[in-house]
């Protein structure tokens, strides 16, 4: 985890700005002999792609990924896999007028304070465009952990939560919100549309479940599986909170209520609950690994917000460009990707130490 | 962040088991010339120390830290600082009967699944005893960032939250709960005592505020200040959730409500709110850095919980030993320490890259 | 230093195979505000470029570098700098017949033993083509250490050493051997030409001197400046030995002969000798940092060498393709680049810890 | 490789000064279930121990190692192994008079230039005493690679080389020089004794051979097995040069002479030579891994050397304390230890990536 690199055994480095020539990732440490082509990656990028409906930004990028290295005759060679997406829709003019203004809720001021200046075109390196490369790298990671099945979905938008009783896995792909509850999806359509029309925005909570993780992945003490998930999720743009298992809810339970009793099972224990989210002492228990991720509402809104110019003068910012009314929606494939990347890293780490 | 090491520029490695000979930490990368003696560390250890009142475990450890290297004539030399605490109260017999049983909510089963066996005495490496060394290392980190003031306190126990309107900094040291709200502290006394008597346990939420952090610490994209805080906090025993700024609350706000407007200030912007918790794009904004940490209720409870033996037989576990009815209380100094360690690391990282 | 990444504070990752689509590097951690364009990098690539005369391989690559990220309005932004060179001259057919044979002295067998298979086209990832990206990254590193001047040259070919008494810095660019001794260059012309015509190859020793390195860069104990130089140089293709200062020669001196006496100087000590190569205890002393690097003779020779096929059958290998009779010559700019990369990393590391 | 930590999968961190309370190492990432007690480590420390005969320093340290963590019921648990040696013979007074003088060839001036001051007692952190912890950590590493047999010996002292024709493995333990050539040992006895009596010192070359390393350990490009060996060896005190296989000698061979022909073998190829030292493309070939390490003569000599005081005044330094006339001799067990540590790290790295 250093600057722009994540992971230890399966490591990936991303680069590129929102409106530069291209964005890319280098995935290093991938096991050899894994079948891999662009076709394994593109569907995940398509799922994340903007401009698909009125609930996401209208910026249109084909986001076609190319594999430039690390694959030979359709298989990974064990050497670095370079992934690249050209930036084709670089409407820099949208941003020229805010070159000299700090957008509240964005990294503009922080970047200037750190680096002395910034690439202001579309947020430059701080743009959520970077997450496309996480999705691409995550697609590679999935192939490293074929035993694991990962599913993320939006559980809450603007404070309106789905009803777990309505959970229908098939429903997720049917609505534009990655929502497994058809009723909630219907409500959210109205909710998000209103926010969009009002020039406002909404936050969201994304849940992610990884099934099939064997017991034993993870490690004490600073490479805990949950610590890595927390870092990976919190590093996603607009994320402000991460929970493992019951998370903050666990803080409101008694010890009895929060217990995950164990019964004799066929292959290790059979757990009677999963408040812990499949992780104990930083190591997987064989139960599904679960986490919840809080996305703040999109900071770029049409409603004017008080701000200052780079010269320190008072001004107002209102965003007229193409933006998501709820970034959490498009964050869903990114959450899945980070889950895959963390788990794949830990699979290899565990194999290295414990054989 | 690898196995038992945390940090990049200011790095620390901890070692030791709950009931081994000793526990220790090696702090590497500390700037030279910092005044340091045991007296700078011991007060923080004393604050965390168990056995101080009936609300924390009755295990008694003097927890006297020794500095074995890295300091010469009262100043850090820039070479590794080795910190060591002898384990003096090693009542291993308390644990002998559970050597063959998996305690629900503990890492017992996960360790066995990973390593094939485990040091079962007091949880071995998975024991919260490890956090004493975080506190010790954190005391060193504080000296690296004298410009920063860090304060953590318990904001909620068993679902009963303090009232921010009652916040009184002086109150924190006056009650056994690190609670800045005298009324809440009174209620919690009853709450925790009841839980203790009932052989049950409670969760807690700890808040932490770091003031004086200049704008510009942190870095894109996987070394974000908030990503590191998330990892650092989530790696603490019993922690299941981390929030930066408004956290999950931000997911329930609109873009307008969540905005942190900026006004011209004397030295950079003056922010009119701090929903972001002092971090934008992974980089500090100059506002106080704030986070909230959820601790689950202590897993070791007197009430029997269904479990299995290491041989897979059904059994029940009830804990008769010395345990905290609410681990979150003693987690408070640990949260402060992790905040200090993350910030000190980023101060040095920033200076390295940006001068 | 992990797989395909080098450095800590200034880190770079390279990717790409000899005959893939492209090769590239990602330089991370570069200070912001450094003037950088392709014109700062291209001259160093041109110097390393193959096909320039009969003493180097006739493979022709324009090796035009593109900067894809990390630079805005002509200055580095502090975010990752992505560098890319398209592979244009991919004559894979030259290599097709050795797909099933292990070339002695090459990594063919080792890669197969490790990964189960390999990209055999031109050696794939094990090709010296990777060093082009070190040269590109090194050009960026030079800009981070403007106070340092780096010069590498060939000191010996095929056992025939230059005469230090003839050292003429201007001469280096005048002959095809980077040789500062005009007489030696003349002898080597004959020597290398004979080897080339005989289908044989020769080894070489490259020396490198970095002037202007201030005292204080480097660090104990496993991040010693000389340890990093050793790793960096040894990681260059065909390198089999590294010396700092007098190197193996120092092992043949007495303590008196090897001493570097110090006299009072204007700014720190004035050293009366530099057997140590400007490094003591892993930290620079303010003297020129010097090292020597041994390149083995090119393994690809026309003379047949006994070998085996991938199926374990006896065979013979003779290389008919385009190869350098003496790889050490083209290694010279690579040695300079690694020196720059190690020093720039340590400048930033030092600044981070010591301010 | 950061500051005081070496390795990736099997990592160790050392701490401690020559004349502090203690020195120690933390070995992290060790596989679980390895039989380990102090008795596995102590013999290697005893071999390195000073004061054993007149050819090494007369400083007397029992150097008794204690295992403080990471081992339970005689087996490694997979958690950090803390090793500690108390410093018992801390004759600080020997060094008090040089507190204000820079010893030529030592790190005194470099440390002051870097850190502003230094622990001058016995060289503090820059003392070769640190290498005791490498030997201790190396003893653990050996247990991780039982398939490998490591042997180091002194091949040359003061320019007088042993004769490979006289190589007798049994002889190594019979003379005080770790010399496998009885004739050379006899000559060296006179040579070293004369140097000692003259208040002078001599350099040495140590060779190390690791047999049983399977093909496939190591990795491109910056984690090459030879790059790691170079870093590990060069980081040893007084080392100025490292060669793999024929090293600088290879630079004087033709391609034909340097070839390692392969013939069909029972299990992979049978090599007919090993100029490469068992490594190709940074990856082991299954042949013995060989390296040579150059130690400079001890810098502390009785003969006066010109120097300056910390205040910049001219002075002379002559060392009256207890010092080795030839540090390379005691470096031999350290070379073995670093070989073991590098190989064990790569065994685990390889297993992690390739299964």
State the DSSP string of D94-136: HHHTTTTBPPTTSSHHHHHHHHSS---GGGGGGSGGGHHHHHH
pLDDT at res. C320: 77
For D289, counting Cβ atoms within 10 Å of its Cβ (0-12 exposed, 13-18 middle, 19+ buried), the class is: buried
Helices (H), D248-304: 255-258
Measured CA to CA, the distance from residue C45 to residue C133 in angstroms comes to: 9
Nearest-Cα residue of chain A relative to residue B226 = A234
**Separation of alpha carbons A98 and A92, rounded Å:** 11
C54, C302, C79: which is closest to C190 by C-alpha? C54
Which of C305, C52, C294, C128 lies closest to C200 in space, CA to CA?
C305
The residue with greater pLDDT, A121 or A137, is: A137
Taking the C-alpha atoms of residue D348 and residue B112, their distance in angstroms, rounded to an integer, is 20
The dihedrals phi and psi of C183, each to the nearest 5 degrees, come to -65, -45
Show residues of chain C in contact with D226, CB under 8 Å: 234-235, 240
Please report which confidence band the pLDDT of residue A122 belongs to, taking 50, 70 and 90 as the band edges: confident
C contacts of B78 (beta carbons < 8 Å) = 353-354
What are the backbone angles phi and psi of residue D27, rounded to the nearest 5°?
A: -100, 120
- For C172, phi then psi, to 5°, come to -55, -40
User: Per mean pLDDT, which range of A150-164, A330-344, D169-183, D313-327 is the poorest?
Assistant: D313-327
Query: Is residue C137 annotated as involved in ligand binding?
Result: no
Q: Please give chain C's pLDDT, 355 residues, in tens.
A: 689 999 999 999 999 999 999 999 999 999 999 999 999 999 999 987 655 666 666 566 678 999 999 999 999 999 999 999 999 865 556 666 678 999 999 999 999 999 999 999 989 999 999 999 999 999 999 999 999 999 999 999 999 999 999 999 999 989 999 999 999 999 999 999 999 999 999 999 999 999 999 999 999 999 999 999 999 999 999 999 999 999 999 999 999 999 999 999 988 899 999 999 999 999 999 999 999 999 999 999 999 999 999 999 999 998 876 678 999 999 999 999 999 999 999 999 999 999 9
The DSSP secondary-structure symbol of C170 reads: G
Q: Is the pLDDT of residue A188 over 90?
A: yes
Q: Is residue A94 very low, low, confident or very high in pLDDT (cuts 50, 70, 90)?
A: low
d(CA D26, CA B12): 11
Decide if pLDDT at B269 tops 80: yes
Q: Which chains touch A (3 or more CB pairs under 8 A)?
A: B, C, D
Whole-number Å distance between alpha carbons of D328 and D162: 15
- Tell which A residues from 37 to 76 touch C, by Cβ distance under 8 Å: 66, 68-70, 72, 75
pLDDT value of residue D52: 64
pLDDT of res. B285: 98
Integer Cα distance of C197 and C216 in angstroms: 49
- Tell which residue, B257, B254, B248, B260, has the closest CA to residue B287: B260
Q: Contact D20/D122 with Cβ under 8 angstroms?
A: no
CA-to-CA distance for A276 and B125, rounded, in angstroms?
A: 19
Using DSSP's 3-state secondary structure scheme, residue A97 falls into coil
pLDDT digits (tens, 9 = 90+) for B283-306: 999 999 999 999 999 999 999 999
* Euclidean distance between CA atoms C234 and C226, whole angstroms: 12
End-to-end CA distance of chain C: 24
**Does any CB of chain A come closer than 8 Å to the CB of residue B269?**
yes
Which tens digits make up the pLDDT trace of D251-308?
999 999 999 999 999 888 999 999 999 999 999 999 999 999 999 999 999 999 999 9
Tens of pLDDT, residue by residue over B128-162, are 999 999 999 999 999 999 999 999 999 999 999 99
The contacts of residue B95 (CB under 8 Å, 6+ apart) are B19, B120, B121, B122, B321
Chain center to CA of D325:
17
C16 with A114: Cβ contact below 8 A: no
To 10 degrees, what angle do helices D225-234 and C225-234 make?
A: 160
Environment class of B69 (CB within 10 Å of its CB; exposed 0-12, middle 13-18, buried 19+): buried
Interface subset of D 116-155, CB within 8 angstroms of B: 116-119, 121, 124-125
Rounded mean pLDDT, D206-227: 98
| A20 near B CB under 8 A | no
B176 touches chain A (CB under 8 A): no
Cis ω on the peptide bond leading into residue C221 (within 30° of 0)? yes
The secondary structure of C31-52 as a DSSP string is PTT-B--HHHHHHHHHHH-SSS
Question: How many whole angstroms separate alpha carbon D219 and alpha carbon D295?
Answer: 28
D294 touches chain C (CB under 8 A): yes
pLDDT value for A317: 92
Query: A276 vs chain D: nearest CA distance in angstroms?
Result: 23
- What is the Cα–Cα distance from A254 to B201, expressed in whole angstroms? 5
* ipTM value for the complex: 0.96
Question: pLDDT tens, B68-105?
Answer: 999 999 999 999 999 999 998 655 565 666 789 999 99
Residue B62: band (very low, low, confident or very high) from pLDDT cuts 50, 70, 90: confident
- At A337, give phi and psi (nearest 5°): -65, -45
d(CA D220, CA D223): 6
Q: Give the CB-side neighbour count of residue C45, counting CA atoms within 13 A.
A: 24
**What's the whole-number mean pLDDT along residues D298-324?**
89
pLDDT over 60 (residue A340): yes
Mean pLDDT of chain A: 94
User: Cβ(D319)–Cβ(D306) under 8 Å?
Assistant: no
Residue of D309, D56, B263 whose CA lies nearest to A309: B263
Strand duo D262-264 + D269-271: pairing? antiparallel
- Mean pLDDT, range D215-238, rounded to an integer: 98
The dihedrals phi and psi of B43, each to the nearest 5 degrees, come to -60, -35
Asked whether the CA dihedral C56, C61, C64, C68 is positive or negative, the reply is negative
User: How much is the pLDDT for C1?
Assistant: 66
Distances (CA, A) of A171 to A154, A179, A333, A335, C334: 12, 7, 16, 19, 56
Task: With a cut of 80, say whether residue D59 has pLDDT above it.
Answer: no
Q: Structure pTM? A: 0.97
Closest CA to C86 of C65, C104, C67: C65
Identify the residue with better confidence: C267 or B24: B24
Cβ atoms within 10 Å of A21's Cβ, excluding its own: 17
- On chain A, the residues whose CB falls within 8 A of the CB of C37 are none
D126 is in an annotated binding site: yes
Give the rounded percent of residues in chain D with a pLDDT score beyond 70.
93
- Residue D24 C-alpha, separation from nearest chain C C-alpha, in angstroms: 13
A139: Cβ contacts below 8 Å, ≥ 6 apart: A40, A41, A43, A44, A45, A337, A340
The conformation of residue A69, written as its DSSP 8-state character, comes to S
For residue D281, say whether it is annotated as part of any ligand binding site: yes
Instruction: For residue range A226-243, list pLDDT tens digits in order.
Output: 999 999 999 999 999 999
The answer on pLDDT for D152 being more than 70 is yes
Please give the sequence-ordered ranges of beta strands (E in DSSP) within A236-313, or none if there are none. Answer: 239-244, 262-264, 269-271, 279-280, 283-284, 289-295, 305-308
pLDDT for residue A324: 83
Distance, CA of D15 to CA of C355 (rounded, Å): 23
What pLDDT, on a 0 to 100 scale, did the predictor assign at position A267? 81
Decide if A349 touches D, using CB distance below 8 A.
yes
Q: What percent of chain B has pLDDT over 90?
A: 87
Residues of C within 8 A of A11 (CB-CB) are 2-3, 5
């Amino acid at each position: 985890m250093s600057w722009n690199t994540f992971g230890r055994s399966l490591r990936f480095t991303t680069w590129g700005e929102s409106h530069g020539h291209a964005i890319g990732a280098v995935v290093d440490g991938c096991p050899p002999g894994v079948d891999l082509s662009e076709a394994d990656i593109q569907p995940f990028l398509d799922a994340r792609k903007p401009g698909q409906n009125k609930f996401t930004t209208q910026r249109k990028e084909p986001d076609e990924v190319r594999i430039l290295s690390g694959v030979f005759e359709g298989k990974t060679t064990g050497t670095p896999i370079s992934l690249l997406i050209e930036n084709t829709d670089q409407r820099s003019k949208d941003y020229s007028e805010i070159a000299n203004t700090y957008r509240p809720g964005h990294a503009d001021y922080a970047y200037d304070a750190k680096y002395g200046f910034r690439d202001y075109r579309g947020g430059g390196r701080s743009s959520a465009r970077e997450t496309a490369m996480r999705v691409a790298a995550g697609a590679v990671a999935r192939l490293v952990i074929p035993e694991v099945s990962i599913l993320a979905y939006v559980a809450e938008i603007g404070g309106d939560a789905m009803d777990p009783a309505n959970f229908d896995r098939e429903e997720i792909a049917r609505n534009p919100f990655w929502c497994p509850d058809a009723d909630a999806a219907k409500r959210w359509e109205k909710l998000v549309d209103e926010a969009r029309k009002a020039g406002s925005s909404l936050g969201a909570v994304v849940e992610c479940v990884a099934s099939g993780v064997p017991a034993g992945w993870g490690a004490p003490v600073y490479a805990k599986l949950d610590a890595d998930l927390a870092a990976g999720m919190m590093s996603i743009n607009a994320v402000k909170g991460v929970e493992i298992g019951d998370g903050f809810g666990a803080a409101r339970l008694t010890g009895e209520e929060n217990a995950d009793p164990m019964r004799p099972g066929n292959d290790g224990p059979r757990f009677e609950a999963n408040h812990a989210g499949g992780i104990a002492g930083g190591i997987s228990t064989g139960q599904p690994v679960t986490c919840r991720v809080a996305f703040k509402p999109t900071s770029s809104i049409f409603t004017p917000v008080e701000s200052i110019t780079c010269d320190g003068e008072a001004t107002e910012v209102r965003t007229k460009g193409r933006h998501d009314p709820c970034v959490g929606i498009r964050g869903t494939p990114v959450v899945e990707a980070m889950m895959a990347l963390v788990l794949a890293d830990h699979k290899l780490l565990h194999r290295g130490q414990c054989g």
